[in-house]
């Protein structure tokens, strides 16, 4: 099990990006969270098998129809087991 922490930049807020990220993560049976950051980016943390995380990263690069993803910066870590589901953080 692995963990990714990704910061997605571009036009990714107010375009349903968090909902998209949650639906795709749940479809791949990943756990974690997604949240908007004050600087206009979106932060994603996801845990699961490496092959599923790699497919998830590909989806993050595309985003929902109204998004314009400029960059997805990903760091890899060992999974922590801190999550039980994939949630949207509203903060």
Task: Give per-residue pLDDT as tens, 6-33.
Answer: 999 999 999 999 999 999 999 999 999 9
Domains of the chain: 2-89 (3.30.70.100)
Q: Which SS3 state, helix, strand or coil, does residue 65 take? A: coil
Q: Tell which residue, 15, 21, 63, 23, has the closest CA to residue 44.
A: 21
Catalytic residue (choose from 3, 18, 26, 38): 18
Catalytic residue (choose from 11, 26, 36, 84): 36
Q: What is the pLDDT of residue 65?
A: 96
Q: Tell which residue, 52, 57, 48, 54, has the closest CA to residue 82.
A: 48
Q: What is the pLDDT of residue 91?
A: 77
CB 63 within 8 A of CB 12: yes
* Alpha-helix residue ranges (DSSP H) falling in 28-72: 50-62
């Amino acid at each position: 099990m692995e963990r990714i922490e990704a910061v997605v930049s571009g036009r990714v807020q107010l375009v349903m990006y968090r909902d998209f990220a949650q639906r795709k993560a749940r479809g791949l049976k990943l756990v974690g969270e997604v949240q908007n950051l004050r600087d206009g980016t979106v932060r994603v943390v996801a845990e699961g098998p490496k092959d599923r995380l790699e497919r998830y990263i590909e989806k993050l690069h595309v985003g929902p129809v109204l998004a314009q993803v400029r960059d997805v910066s990903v760091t890899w870590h060992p999974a922590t087991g801190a999550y039980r589901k994939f949630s949207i953080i509203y903060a």
